[in-house]
Structure 1
């Protein structure tokens, strides 16, 4: 799947691009069922909130066939190759849960800030692509972006090891307020199957989910092969060491899996 010239310009200017309904609701429902099975596993890759509910599952593409195929889907890989101008490898893969009532905050941060500080990734030639497995609404903890904040480079951050179960390099209130005064704050909303691309330096966060509705999103962190990490202090299933380029599968790879398993979306 190739992006249009207008889409490329929007991404370059705003730092993100929203592609509603990129995947079918049936494919999203299947992957959501797979995510819920993974959250029930006793694996070191599954991190939990203080309440015990799942927060994120790392490297799901290595132990689940549906997520493996999603991680090599051409609708996800080809646009990033187009933007970065070369083949990409999987730096990180996670399935984030924002559980009803108990989903905790993700503080304001830049992803590349973490990749640079913790993994010694040379340049911000890496980015995230997110797939909604459930409808993302105004009430269930949507992602919030500060448009055009990716143009500010890597911002000063503090290492927060206490607020949540996941350590993060977070931005202070003054920095976030200044950037928001300049670019505003947006929260892309849409149905299950929608996709978000966003720059590694785009400032973003998500609020706690105190609604009775879950919100689950898959994140592929894709990095240009030439820009692979140089430092290996994090677990390999968090910051991958396999720098081989991803070879995209066929466009119907997920549909074929659903057909093989005779999957029908619950009504």
Structure 2
């Protein structure tokens, strides 16, 4: 899969791009079931909110076949290689669960700030990819982006280890206010299977979810191989040390796995 010139132009200018319903209902149903099974597990990769509800599951591609296939899917790998002009590896993989009624806030931040400070990533040549497993609506805590904020570079941030169960390098209110005055705020929404790409320096965050509608999103960070991390401080399941270029799987790999699961259940 390749992006059109118009899509590339939007990404370069705005810092983000939404590809609606890129994955089929059959593929998403498989991933959603597998995500829910992972959240029920008690393993160090599964982090929980202070309420006990699941918050995120790291490194699912290392212990779940469906998410391994998603992490090497050509509909995802192709566009990122196109933007960077080189092969990529998996820097981080997580399945974020903004649970119904209890999903907590993600404060305003830039992801590259964390990758640089905590992992020793030289440049913001890593791409965030988000695949919606539930419908993302204006009301259930969608990701909010500040368009064009990626041009502000690496901004000063503070390490917040208290607000939520996940430590984050966050931006102060004055900085966010200034950037929003320049670029506004967008909250991309869409049906399950939609894929969002956004720049590592794009300022983003999300509000809590007090609705009955869960909002599960897979977040992958694909990093240019030449930009591999140098001084990681976080566990390997959060910041991966395997810099092997990803070799894409067949486009129908998830479909075949979904049908194999269905046949085994019959």
Bin for the TM-score computed over the shorter chain: over 0.9
Kept in 1: contact 2:146–2:185 (CA 8 A):
yes
Matches within 5 A, 1:87-236: 87-236=87-236
Match of 1:262, SS?
helix
> Distance between the aligned counterparts of 1:143 and 1:238, measured in 2?
21
Kept in 2: contact 1:30–1:263 (CA 8 A):
no
Kept in 1: contact 2:159–2:168 (CA 8 A):
yes
Unaligned runs of 5+ in 1: none
> Distance between the aligned counterparts of 1:101 and 1:251, measured in 2?
36
> Distance between the aligned counterparts of 1:51 and 1:113, measured in 2?
28
Q: Tell me how far 1:261 sits from its aligned partner.
A: 1.6
Kept in 1: contact 2:112–2:200 (CA 8 A):
yes
Match of 2:130, SS?
strand
State yes or no: 1:237 paired with 2:237: yes
> Distance between the aligned counterparts of 1:251 and 1:26, measured in 2?
13
2:22 corresponds to which residue?
22
Kept in 1: contact 2:61–2:71 (CA 8 A):
yes
- CA distance 1:263–1:54, change in 2 (3 Å): farther
Kept in 2: contact 1:20–1:190 (CA 8 A):
yes
Match of 1:103, SS?
coil
Q: Tell me how far 1:26 sits from its aligned partner.
A: 2.0
Q: Which runs of 4+ in 1 moved over 3 A?
A: none
Q: Tell me how far 1:14 sits from its aligned partner.
A: 0.2
How many residues are treated as equivalent by the alignment?
264
* CA-based RMSD: 1.0
> Distance between the aligned counterparts of 1:127 and 1:206, measured in 2?
19
Unaligned runs of 5+ in 2: none
2:83 corresponds to which residue?
83
2:256 corresponds to which residue?
256
Q: Tell me how far 1:232 sits from its aligned partner.
A: 2.1
**Scaled by the length of structure 1, what TM-score is found?**
0.98
**Scaled by the length of structure 2, what TM-score is found?**
0.98
Match of 1:188, SS?
coil
Kept in 1: contact 2:46–2:57 (CA 8 A):
yes
- CA distance 1:20–1:235, change in 2 (3 Å): same
User: What's the CA shift string for 1:37-74, capped at 9, x where partnerless?
Assistant: 00000100000000000000000011110000000000
